């Protein structure tokens, strides 16, 4: 099975579209997190990511933007980006981010494979 791995898009819609349009053929998409953060298009990136696939691992920027972690672990720019993102997310997308699973993620069609954002023992 061919898997397209996407990671660290950070709300950059143009980069996500470029990756999707230039990818070789694939059967499933697995997103390894940091869907949001820094960039100006968090809602559009979430919507496009959800349309592209259904397998997601929560990244630390997703977690921060959802209000699920202390921002003192972030540098000041990353912390401000997380706050800005949270303030600009639709309520639906904020709830979706909050519900993302931490890694490791296992996909039914790929037994024995774990997908993580950070590492198998520390999601961040």
What is the percentage of the chain residues whose pLDDT exceeds 90?
97
Taking only the tens place, the pLDDT of each residue in 89-108 is 999 999 999 999 999 999 99
- How far does Cα 99 stand from its chain's mean position? 12
Q: For residue 22, what is the enclosing H or E element?
A: helix 13-22
- pLDDT > 90? residue 66: yes
pTM of the model: 0.95
Q: What is the per-residue pLDDT for 124? A: 83
Segment 43-58 shows an average pLDDT of: 98
Mean pLDDT of the chain: 96
């Amino acid at each position: 099975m061919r898997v397209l791995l996407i990671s660290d898009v950070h709300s950059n819609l143009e980069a996500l579209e470029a990756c999707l349009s230039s990818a070789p053929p694939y059967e499933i998409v697995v997103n390894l997190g940091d869907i949001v953060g820094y960039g100006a298009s968090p809602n559009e990136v979430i919507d496009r990511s959800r349309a592209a696939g259904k397998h997601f691992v929560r990244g630390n920027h997703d977690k921060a933007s959802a209000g699920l972690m202390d921002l003192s672990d972030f540098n000041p720019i990353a912390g401000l980006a997380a706050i800005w993102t949270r303030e600009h997310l639709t309520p639906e997308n904020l709830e979706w981010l909050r519900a993302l699973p931490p890694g490791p993620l296992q996909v039914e069609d790929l037994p024995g494979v774990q997908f993580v954002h950070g590492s198998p023992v520390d999601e961040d």
